[in-house]
């Protein structure tokens, strides 16, 4: 009988799996923490796992952790992204890795617009003013999206859904993708342009591409210099696509009007830890600097930061949990679906 260990198990996840048990004989163990946060004894108790399932918050599933599971045959991710997994180790040790593609294009796109409207109309900021009984209407002057130009970077499932929503806001839409698909441009009503043209023309830039080995700090100082003054930056993709320091400077200088960030470099500190402690504990100059900039960014009035929750609707979470278990059932029945190793020549 296979032993399956689920990590990062929230109450919703536990309830879902209780109501929807696997239709195969298996021993299942549910653990709240990430594998890297387990004590040596806790790890030993589950080291005979055949299958482990982790969520995106398990940030470091590297060789050191994977070596603790000598019988491991499958990692069933409860996420699309797999940049947290040591795929080379998995290949070398014959461990299959499967993910959950396309569970939340509309979910993340809706959240993208939530962030965007919060930045352009200062909703959170004016709510805080009401809470503090310190309202000054002039401070929350925003601007309309109608007629403005949106630049979408990455025209995959989420980017296209963002275009669909933007159309109903009467926005002009430009897009950049290194693998453009002209049929999408006509179907969703956007125009493919070069990255430089997108930078110089867009009033709002929204990131929807994976993090690859080629696009680390895609938005750096040079990129910000090419943008319009007053551009809005939205990032629901991956924190490392933006050079945090360059963004902070551009925000402070008024070059960038505002930013809505669901993801950040060194975001695990934001999600799990005390930010001040994590800055104190940072072991490299670079991570220390960027953790400190995150702290400064939190204090800016023209920034809204959320803790990597764009996916987090009950509908999307249920789709993730269902697909992750369908992947496990297929694997146990001898058929691998949604293999990440097959497409890992394009790592995210
Ligand atoms: P997708 O695979 O459907 O589409 C990605 C698109 O990006 C593809 O069209 C690809 O050609 C393009 N691309 C690749 N490299 C690029 C580059 N350098 N510049 C511009 N475009 C590039 O992915 P998706 O489902 O639309 O998701 C997009 C990203 O959103 C994911 O990679 C993930 O990082 C992020 N995401 C975040 C959350 C969240 O909760 N914040 C949830 C799901 C996905």
Q: From the CA of 139, how far away is ligand 1's center (Å)?
A: 35
Per CATH, the number for 105-305 is: 3.40.50.720
Return the pLDDT at 346.
43
Taking only the tens place, the pLDDT of each residue in 240-260 is 999 999 999 999 999 999 999
Higher pLDDT, 29 or 213: 29
The predicted model gives 133-139 an average pLDDT of 90
Return the pLDDT at 347.
39
Which atom of ligand 1 approaches the CA of 56 most closely? 40
Does any ligand 1 atom lie closer than 6 A to the CB of residue 348? yes
The predicted model gives 193-221 an average pLDDT of 96
Taking only the tens place, the pLDDT of each residue in 262-313 is 999 878 666 655 656 666 665 666 667 777 788 888 889 999 999 889 999 9
Higher pLDDT, 201 or 136: 201
CA distances from 260 to 8, 104, 241, 344 (A): 26, 19, 14, 30
Give the predicted TM-score (pTM) of the model: 0.87
Which of 238, 240, 245, 265 is catalytic? The answer is 238
Going by C-alpha positions, the residue among 272, 239, 331, 266 that lies closest to residue 32 is 272
Does any ligand 1 atom lie closer than 6 A to the CB of residue 236? yes
Return the pLDDT at 279.
60
Return the pLDDT at 297.
87
Does any ligand 1 atom lie closer than 6 A to the CB of residue 290? no
91-105, 129-143, 257-271: range with lowest mean pLDDT: 257-271
Q: Can you tell me the distance from the alpha carbon of 254 to that of 63, in angstroms, rounded to the nearest whole number?
A: 43
Catalytic annotation present for 267: yes
**Percent of the chain topping pLDDT 70:** 92
Return the pLDDT at 282.
59
82-91, 185-194, 287-296: range with lowest mean pLDDT: 287-296
Going by C-alpha positions, the residue among 322, 309, 203 that lies closest to residue 264 is 309
User: Could you give phi then psi for residue 241, rounded to 5 degrees?
Assistant: -75, -15
In the chain the first and final C-alpha atoms are separated, in Å, by 33
The predicted model gives 71-80 an average pLDDT of 95
Residue 210's Cβ-count burial label (10 Å; 0-12, 13-18, 19+) is: middle
Taking only the tens place, the pLDDT of each residue in 49-67 is 999 999 987 777 999 999 9
Catalytic annotation present for 308: yes
**Percent of the chain topping pLDDT 90:** 79
State the fold for domain 2-103+314-344.
Answer: Rossmann fold (3.40.50)
Q: From the CA of 210, how far away is ligand 1's center (Å)?
A: 4
Mention every residue, 6+ apart, whose C-beta is less than 8 A from residue 333.
Answer: 24
> Encoding tokens for residue 24?
């195969």
Same fold, 2-103+314-344 and 105-305: yes
**Domain coordinates of the chain in residue numbers?**
2-103+314-344, 105-305
Report helix, strand or coil for 126: helix
41-45, 134-138, 204-208, 284-288: range with lowest mean pLDDT: 284-288
Return the pLDDT at 93.
97
> Do 122 and 142 form a contact (C-beta atoms < 8 A)?
yes
Which of 96, 240, 265, 267 is catalytic? The answer is 267
Q: From the CA of 161, how far away is ligand 1's center (Å)?
A: 12
Q: What average pLDDT is seen over the chain?
A: 91
């Amino acid at each position: 009988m296979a032993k399956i260990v689920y990590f990062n198990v929230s109450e919703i996840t536990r309830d879902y799996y209780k109501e929807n048990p696997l239709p195969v004989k298996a021993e299942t163990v549910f653990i709240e923490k990430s594998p890297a946060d387990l004590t040596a004894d806790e790890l030993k108790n589950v080291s005979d796992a055949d299958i482990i399932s982790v969520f995106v918050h398990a940030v470091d599933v590297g060789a050191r952790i994977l070596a603790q599971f000598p019988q491991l045959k499958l990692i069933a991710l409860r996420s699309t992204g797999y940049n947290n997994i040591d795929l080379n180790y998995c290949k070398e040790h014959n461990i299959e890795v499967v993910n959950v593609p396309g569970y939340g294009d509309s979910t993340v796109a809706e959240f993208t617009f939530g962030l965007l409207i919060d930045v352009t109309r200062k909703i959170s900021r004016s709510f805080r003013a009401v809470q503090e009984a310190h309202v000054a209407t002039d401070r929350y002057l925003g601007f309309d999206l109608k007629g403005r130009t949106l630049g979408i970077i990455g025209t995959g499932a989420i980017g296209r859904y963002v275009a669909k929503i933007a159309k109903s806001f009467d926005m002009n839409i430009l897009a950049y993708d290194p693998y453009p698909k002209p049929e999408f441009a006509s179907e969703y009503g956007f125009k493919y342009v070069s990255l430089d043209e997108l930078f110089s023309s867009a009033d709002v830039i929204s990131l929807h591409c994976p993090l690859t080995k080629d696009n680390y700090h895609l938005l750096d100082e040079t990129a910000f210099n090419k943008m319009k003054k007053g551009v809005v930056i939205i990032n629901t993709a991956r924190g490392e696509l933006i050079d945090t320091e360059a963004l902070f400077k551009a925000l402070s200088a008024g070059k960038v009007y505002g930013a809505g960030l669901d993801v950040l470099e060194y975001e695990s500190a934001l999600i799990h830890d005390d930010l001040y402690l994590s800055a104190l504990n940072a072991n490299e100059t670079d991570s220390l600097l960027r953790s400190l900039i995150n702290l400064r960014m939190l204090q800016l009035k023209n920034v809204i930061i959320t803790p990597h929750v764009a996916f987090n609707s009950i509908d999307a979470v249920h789709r993730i949990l269902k697909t992750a278990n369908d992947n496990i059932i297929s694997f146990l029945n001898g058929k691998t679906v949604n293999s990440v190793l097959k497409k890992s020549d394009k790592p995210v």
